[in-house]
Structure 1
C-alpha cells in the first residue's frame, strides 16, 4: 500500500492575492458607507407632527333656535417631534362637522414656522352656520344634545414643508382629524381632552 501523501500546496500568484485584497477592501468600504448612509437617513428622516385636542366648546349650544351664529372655540396642541428638522405651515383652515353637515369653517392660523422639538397652540374661533331647526339633521342633533352625547369632528387642513438642515423638502398636503364628543352644554367631554388626532398626508 503506497504511503499517504498530502496534496501539493499551490501558492497563489501575487496578482490573485492583490485582487482578493482589493475585493476585501472594496467590500469593507461599501459596508462602512452603507452604515453611514443608514445613520444619516435615520437622523434626517422627518417625523410627522402630532396634534392633540385640548379643548372645544360651543356656548349656548342647547338653545332651541339652533347653532347658527354661535361662536365655535377650540384649542389644539401641535408638537414637532424632530430634533433637527423644522416645519413650515401654510395657512391652517378648520372645519367642524356634525355627521356630514358642516357646522363651521374658516382660517384659524396664519403661516408659521415650527422649530425642532417645539410646541404651538392652535387657538381657533369660528362662527357656526348650523344645524338649525329647519335642517334635516336637527332632530337627531337636538336629541343627542339633550342626552349629552354628540359626536363631532374637527378637521384642520394645511400645506407643510420640512426644513432639513439647509434644504427644504417638497410641500405636503396635510389633514388633521379630531373625533370627539360634546356634552349637552356644548363643552368637550372629559375623556376626549388631550386626545391625539389622526394625521394624514
Structure 2
C-alpha cells in the first residue's frame, strides 16, 4: 500500500470550479457589498439656462445704469427753481355782505440756480389764498430758462362779487381794523422739465409764498406789500 506524503501540497494553476454551474457569478458591485446603480447625470434645460442668463444680464445692466445715473446726479446736482415776490398790490378791494371784490397785481422773479441745467416751465397755475380759502387764480404762459437765468413775471388775479363765508369776511375785516393789513398766501404749481444735453427729467414743482402782508386799512380799497422782496418755498 502506497503511503501519502504528509508534506505534499495541492497543485496550483487551475481555478477552482464554480460550485453552481447553472448560475452566473454575481456582479462585481454586489460582490463588493454595494448595490449596482445605473446613474445618468440630468441634462440642464436649455430654455431655463437661457432665461437665467438673461435675468443675470438684466440685473447687471440695471446696476450699471443706476450707478451711472447716481454719478450723473452727483455731478450735475439738479436744484429746484427759486421764486421771489418783488411786489404785490391790491386795488378795488372790498368785502361786504359776504361778497368779495378785488384785484391783485403781482411781480414775480423766477431764478434758475442750476449752472449746468436749463429749465422749461409748463403752464404755471397761480392762486391767491386767505388762510385755506382760495380767492382767485390765473394761469401763466410757459417759458424757458437758461442756466443761472432770472425771469421776471407779471400776473393779475381778479375777483368780482364772489360769495365768501361770513367767518372769512369777518376775519378780513378784523385784520384790517386791528393791523391795517391783510396777510395773503400765494400758491403756484407747474411741471418743470430739467434739461442737460439729451437728459430730460420732468418734475411737478409747487411754490408756497405764505403770510404776504398787504397794507389795506379799513378805510381804503387799495394797498401795497409790506416790506421788501419775499422769497417763496419750492417743493
**TM-score (ref. length: structure 1):** 0.70
Matched, 1:128 2:128: no
Helix, strand or coil for the counterpart of 2:75? helix
Matched residues, number: 160
**TM-score (ref. length: structure 2):** 0.61
Matched, 1:92 2:118: no
**Unmatched 5+ stretches in structure 2:** 1-66, 217-221
Report the Cα distance in structure 2 between the residues aligned to 1:77 and 1:140, rounded to whole angstroms. Answer: 30
Q: Which deviations, in whole Å up to 9, do the C-alpha atoms of 1:16-58 show, x marking residues without a partner?
A: xxxxxxxxxxxxxxxxxx9xx85x5443121111111111111
Report the Cα distance in structure 1 between the residues aligned to 2:102 and 2:175, rounded to whole angstroms. Answer: 18
Report the Cα distance in structure 2 between the residues aligned to 1:129 and 1:62, rounded to whole angstroms. Answer: 9
Q: CA, structure 1 residues 130+177, in 2 after alignment: closer, same or farther (shift >3 Å)?
A: farther
On the 8 A contact 1:60/1:186 being kept in 2, the answer is no
**Unmatched 5+ stretches in structure 1:** 1-33
Report the Cα distance in structure 1 between the residues aligned to 2:214 and 2:200, rounded to whole angstroms. Answer: 40
Q: Which deviations, in whole Å up to 9, do the C-alpha atoms of 1:57-82 show, x marking residues without a partner?
A: 11132575777442221111110011
On the 8 A contact 1:57/1:74 being kept in 2, the answer is yes
Matched, 1:141 2:172: yes
Helix, strand or coil for the counterpart of 1:61? strand
Report the Cα distance in structure 2 between the residues aligned to 1:148 and 1:131, rounded to whole angstroms. Answer: 23
Q: Which deviations, in whole Å up to 9, do the C-alpha atoms of 1:145-199 show, x marking residues without a partner?
A: 2331322100011111100122211x21111000111212432111xx3111011
